Amino acid sequence: MSTRTAPARARRASTALLVTGVLALAGCAGTVPLEPGPEANDPECAAISVRVPDTIGELARRTTNAQATAAWGDPAAVIYRCGLPEQGPSDLPCFDVDGVDWLLDESNAPRYVFTTYGRTPVTEVIVDVTYVAGADAVRALSPAVSVVDADARCLAATDVFGGGSVSPTAEPTPTPAP
């Protein structure tokens, strides 16, 4: 369980619109038209952007028309955007990939949205899993994203409930007294 992300419905609607527009236009060769994040001019986005890889799996990087963005594949199967606003609480699953916490939104499958957690500015990666595995894309981008220091980490259920088992059928595990 994480403690902050944008409201899920608004983000899903925004992402769906972005992905639909990108995929409709990205099938054409040339520059991939993307919308920059509202904080794309943050110097930390530049630090990440200069480190993104030239390829993700078999997909080659393409030119984009917006600051702090990147795309891979033809059609664009992986989209990177940096500079999204800081987010609030979320019930999305969160997992660590090479020291970077990522939230996963599968609501627009087969297009999955991965959003960094605990790093400002926020980075978003949209992956069409019919072309490349989401885990492979996030694993390829995590080293670049890791140049921005984390100021928070995802919490596991055991972190929230004080350790021990959270299974409703398990015997409670006493929490040590301070």
Which sequence spans correspond to the domains of the chain? 2-160
The pLDDT value recorded for residue 86 is: 85
Q: Are 54 and 60 in contact (CB under 8 A)?
A: yes
Beta-carbon contacts of residue 157 (< 8 Å; ≥ 6 apart): 1, 166
Residue 4 has what pLDDT? 46
Backbone angles phi, psi at 21, to 5 degrees: -65, -45
pTM for the model stands at: 0.73
* Structural element, H or E, at residue 19: helix 8-26
- Among residues 85, 126, 67, the alpha carbon closest in space to that of 102 is found at 126
Strand ranges, E, within the chain: 2-5, 55-56, 59-62, 69-72, 78-84, 88-90, 94-97, 100-108, 111-116, 122-128
Residue 147 near residue 100, CB atoms below 8 Å = no
Q: Print pLDDT tens along the chain (178 aa).
A: 444 444 444 454 444 444 444 444 444 458 999 999 999 999 999 999 999 999 999 999 999 999 999 999 999 999 999 999 887 778 899 999 999 999 999 999 999 999 999 999 999 999 999 999 999 999 999 999 999 999 998 876 555 555 544 444 445 444 455 5
pLDDT, residue 29, reads 54
Between the two ends of the chain, the Cα-to-Cα distance in Å is 24
